[in-house]
Amino acid sequence: MASTSAEAIRELAAKESPGALDEFFSESTFVYAGELDGLTRTVCFVCALFMTFILLVFIASVIWFIFQVLKLVKTDVHLSQASTSLLISSAVQATLFVVFLFMPITCMLISWAYCLDNTANIINALVLIMSIHGTLDMLTTLYFVVPYRNYIVSLFSRKQTHMVSINISVRF
């Protein structure tokens, strides 16, 4: 639809949603993604299935990783503290990825693929959830990487040093 004229886009929108979008036709930035005789929903459905498959593969790989680390911990005692921190960090970041990115995108695709009514507010909330992911991921990195954590703690726990100046005036 990139080569479609503005008038053709408005005609398509008027045809597929009679009267619902008429008030927005005067906007110069009006954009409409048409149904294309169900092709758009079919593509969303296939993408939702693909995302679900990728999610299952991702979860399986995280479980495999956890079991490999646990097996390594049993053979080497020195790794227990580092591996525990690594496991917790990996689990938290994997959870953040799934909850704040993967699930919202999949829910949006399912909402569009199945033409679910009255989901606009839910989709807006999901977009808000997705926008929080970057901040939370950065905070978990700052927490789990020890040098970063120590530096951040030192910023807030720095003792105030008082400078004392002594002025001496000497006359000859």
Q: For 62-101, how does the pLDDT look when each residue is reduced to its tens digit (9 = 90+)?
A: 888 878 877 777 777 666 666 677 778 888 888 898 889 9
**Taking the model in full, what pTM does it have?**
0.61
Query: Which token pair is 40?
Result: 């758009």
User: How many separate domains does the chain show?
Assistant: 2
**How far apart are alpha carbons 125 and 60 in whole angstroms?**
28
User: Is 147 within a domain?
Assistant: yes
**24 and 47 part of one domain:** no
Domain assignment present for 162: no
Considering the domain boundaries, does residue 158 fall inside one?
no
What pLDDT is attached to residue 99?
87
Answer yes or no: do 27 and 52 share one domain: no
- The 10 Å Cβ neighbour count of residue 47 is 17
What pLDDT was estimated at residue 1?
43
In terms of domains, do 60 and 4 share one? no
Query: Could you report the per-residue pLDDT of 98-111, keeping only the tens digit for each?
Result: 889 988 988 888 88
Q: Are residues 128 and 46 in the same domain?
A: yes
Q: Are residues 17 and 75 in the same domain?
A: no
Residues lower than pLDDT 50 in the chain: 1
Residue 42 CB-half CA count within 13 A: 5
For residue 100, what pLDDT is reported?
Answer: 92
**Domain, as residue range, for 142:** 37-153
Same domain? For 52 and 128 the reply is yes
Neighbours of 5 (CB within 10 A): 8
Nearest to 111 by CA among 34, 59, 47, 63: 47
